[in-house]
Amino acid sequence: MIPITKPFLPPVEEYSNYLSGIWQRQWLTNMGPLASKLELKLKTHLQVKHLLFVTNGTIALQMAIKALDLKGEIITTPFSFIATTSSIVWEGCKTVFVDIDKDSLNIDATKIEASITNKTSAILATHVYGNPCDVLAIEKIAKKHNLKVIYDGAHAFGVKINGKSIFEYGDISTCSLHATKLYHSSEGGLIVTQNSELLKKLASIRNFGFKDSVSFSELGINGKNSEFHAAMGLTNLDYIDRIHEKRKLLTECYDKNLKKFRAYKPVWSKNATINFAYYPIVLESEELLLKCMDDLKRKEIFVRRYFYPSLASTLPYLNKEYFEITDDVSKRVMCLPLYYDLTLEEVEYICHTILKVQNN
Ligand SMILES: *Cc1c(COP(=O)(O)O)cnc(C)c1O
């Protein structure tokens, strides 16, 4: 059996070493020493100014919307994971979807301005598969119309663009450290901002809005994460280079073997590094995709239609809307298995299988 993904697990002894410290200190959560250490290490690793370790990537998005005090309409992409949309709705704002660019699969920056109204307060865009959005174009639009920018960087851990972290763009960037992501702490999320006032506000929001033990500075939530999760994050961080190398090797193997397969890969942003978070391909047709999936499933190989369907066309709490590129791409896109334990032989086998389906 080849699953679509497998969480990376470090040697159990290394994780256990952290556990004995937790037992000694009897400090399990509430911004303990391991959580603080992880924040420091990640700040250095990612080369960002400020960063908060939070419960998960979804809470990170919701806290970002809350901290920026967003109201009214938020422009966003229909081609993302559900949390990008649900966090907007959960925070009482209205989603305004803008179609994606068929090459990058990110929100099409050239179509954003046409959707701006006097109620628009922000743009919330996803760096899909870790591929940076057109951050400079979005920055320009946001400045011109006085909008805030949040980036859902759940896929973008470690990506750099123009020599700096992708998380340093926008007012706030978020990341997910969920077990299925490239780098994880079992459950977890990150909030990155350049603005130290905003950082203070976010830190307070993370801790119920406490100002001190008896007073509150604003409406908060429990966005903290535990020492156990921090320990997993710390242990895994020592393996990040190896994880990266292995995923690069697997990706190159897919590339080499799929040259004749009738599909394209998203076109990567110029001046950006690649983190090999996923192996997405957009197939020639949905028919070919379904045939491939069928055949792979028979061989116990699992791929994922990521993202399918479009967020704008399926949610019970939103009016259905259709978008030319998003609807077309989401029907034809799939992610192939990519994880640390996957072998080159397995990649070759997967490629061989789908090529055979195509050529039959
Ligand atoms: C995983 C993911 C999230 C949510 O992160 P969690 O840590 O699972 O809450 C948000 N946005 C995108 C694009 C994701 O892939």
Mean pLDDT over the full length of the chain:
98
User: Counting atoms of ligand 1 from 1, which one is nearest the CA of 128?
Assistant: 13
* Pairwise CA distance, residues 81 & 154, whole Å: 9
Question: Is the same domain home to 184 and 310?
Answer: no
pLDDT tier at 277, thresholds 50, 70, 90 = very high
| 282 shares a domain with 338 | yes
The verdict on 223 and 182 lying in the same domain is: yes
Mean pLDDT of 230-234: 98
109 and 197 share one domain = yes
What is the mean predicted confidence (pLDDT) over 194-214?
Answer: 97
Measuring from atom 6 of ligand 1, which residue has the nearest CA? 57
Domain membership flag for residue 84:
yes
Q: Count of CB atoms within 10 A of residue 308's CB?
A: 17
Query: End of a domain among 237, 252, 280?
Result: 237
What's the CATH code of the domain at 65? 3.40.640.10
In a domain, 156, yes or no: yes
Select from 56, 150, 176 the residue to mutate for testing ligand 1; criterion: most ligand atoms less than 8 Å from CB: 176
DSSP strand pairing (120-126 vs 73-76) = parallel
Average pLDDT over residues 262-287: 98
Digit-coded pLDDT (tens) for 176-202: 999 999 999 999 999 999 999 999 999
Pairing between β-strand 189-193 and β-strand 172-176 as defined by DSSP bridges: antiparallel
192 located within any domain:
yes
In this structure, the answer to whether residues 228 and 247 fall within a common structural domain is: no
21 and 160 part of one domain: yes
Residue 23 sits in the same domain as residue 156: yes
Predicted pLDDT at 43:
98
Is 291 found in the same domain as 338? yes
Compute the average pLDDT of residues 98-116. 98
State the pLDDT at residue 232. Answer: 98
Q: Where are the alpha helices (DSSP H) in 56-145?
A: 57-67, 82-90, 135-145
> Atom of ligand 1 at shortest distance to CA of 61?
10
Identify whether residues 199 and 121 lie together within a single domain. Answer: yes
In the structure encoding, which two tokens stand for residue 77, read together?
């992409």
4 belongs to a structural domain: no
Task: Please list every protein residue whose CB sits less than 6 Å from any atom of ligand 1.
Answer: 56-58, 80-81, 83-84, 126, 152, 154-155, 176, 178, 189
Range of the domain at 291: 240-359
> How do residues 31-51 score in pLDDT, each as one tens digit?
999 999 999 999 999 999 999
Residue 2 inside a domain? The answer is no
Residues 76 and 209 grouped into a single domain:
yes
Q: Which of 185, 220, 237 is the last residue of a domain?
A: 237
**Index of the ligand 1 atom closest to the CA of residue 176:** 7
The reported pLDDT for the residue numbered 336 is 98
The pLDDT, as a whole number, for residue 169 is 98
Instruction: Kindly report, residue by residue over 309-324, the tens digit of the pLDDT.
Output: 999 999 999 999 999 9
For residue 250, the domain's CATH number is: 3.90.1150.10
Give the rounded percent of residues in the chain with a pLDDT score beyond 70.
100
Backbone angles phi and psi of 292, in degrees to 5 = -60, -45
Q: Residue 214 domain-assigned?
A: yes
Q: Strands across the sheet with 263-264, in order?
A: 263-264, 279-283, 333-336
Q: How far is the CA of 174 from the centre of ligand 1 (A)?
A: 9
Query: Would you say the C-alpha torsion 181, 183, 188, 189 has a positive or negative sign?
Result: negative
Chain segment 171-181, per-residue pLDDT in tens: 999 999 999 99
CB atoms within 10 A of CB 166: 30
Q: What is the pLDDT of residue 168?
A: 98
Whether residue 278 is contained in a domain is answered as yes
Domain assignment of residue 78, yes or no: yes
For the residues 352-360, what does the mean pLDDT come to?
Answer: 96
Domains contained in the chain, number: 2
Ligand 1 atom showing the smallest separation from residue 187 Cα: 7
| Residue where a domain terminates, one of 176, 209, 237 | 237
Model pLDDT, residue 158 = 98
Whether residue 246 sits in one domain with residue 233: no
Per-residue pLDDT tens over the stretch 133-183: 999 999 999 999 999 999 999 999 999 999 999 999 999 999 999 999 999
Please tell me the predicted confidence (pLDDT) of residue 240.
Answer: 98
Residue with tokens 């179609």: 99
| 278: confidence class by pLDDT, cuts 50, 70, 90 | very high
Q: What is the pTM of this model?
A: 0.98
Does 254 share its domain with 344?
yes
**Alpha carbons 336 and 353: distance in angstroms, whole number:** 12
Task: Report pLDDT digits (tens) over 296-307.
Answer: 999 999 999 999
